[in-house]
Amino acid sequence: MKKKINIDIVSDIACPWCFVGKRRLEEAIKSLDKYDLNINWHPFQLDPNIPQEGADKEEYMANKFGSVERYEMLAENLISAGDGVGISFDFKSAKTIPNTMKMHQLLHVASKEGFADSLKERLFKANFEEVLDLTQDATLVNIMKEFDWTEEYTLSVINDQEIAYWVTQEIRNYQQMGVTGVPFFIFNNKYAFSGAQPPQVFIDTIKDVSQKMEVAKAESCDIDDPNC
Looking at residue 227, what is its pLDDT?
A: 53
Q: Are 151 and 161 in contact, with CB atoms under 8 Å apart?
A: no
Question: Crossing angle of helices 137-145/101-113, nearest 10°?
Answer: 20
| HEC profile of 44-113 | CCCCCCCCCCCEEHHHHHHHHHCCHHHHHHHHHHHHHHHHCCCCCCCCCCCCEECCCHHHHHHHHHHHHH
Looking at residue 217, what is its pLDDT?
A: 47
CA distance 99 to 228: 55
Mean pLDDT, range 183-211, rounded to an integer: 96
Strands 184-187 and 96-97, bridge-based pairing: unpaired
Looking at residue 225, what is its pLDDT?
A: 54
Q: Quick one: what percent of the chain has pLDDT higher than 70?
A: 93
Mean pLDDT, range 199-216, rounded to an integer: 87
Give the three-state DSSP class for 178. coil
pLDDT class of 1 with cuts at 50, 70, 90: confident
- Over the chain, what is the mean pLDDT? 94
Question: How far out from the chain centre does Cα 137 lie?
Answer: 21
Residue type (1 letter), 221: C
CA distance 207 to 203: 6
Domain 3-218 is found in CATH 3.40.640.10:
no
pLDDT tens by residue, 32-84: 999 999 999 999 999 999 999 999 999 999 999 999 899 999 999 999 999 99
pLDDT tens by residue, 38-49: 999 999 999 999
CA distance 150 to 93: 29
| Listed residue (29, 35, 21) closest to 198, CA to CA | 21
> Domain map of the chain by residue range?
3-218
Looking at residue 228, what is its pLDDT?
A: 47
pLDDT class of 226 with cuts at 50, 70, 90: low
**End-to-end Cα, the chain, rounded Å:** 26
Q: Point out the least confidently predicted range of 45-49, 70-74, 105-109, 119-123.
A: 70-74
Phi, psi of 207 (to 5 degrees): -65, -40
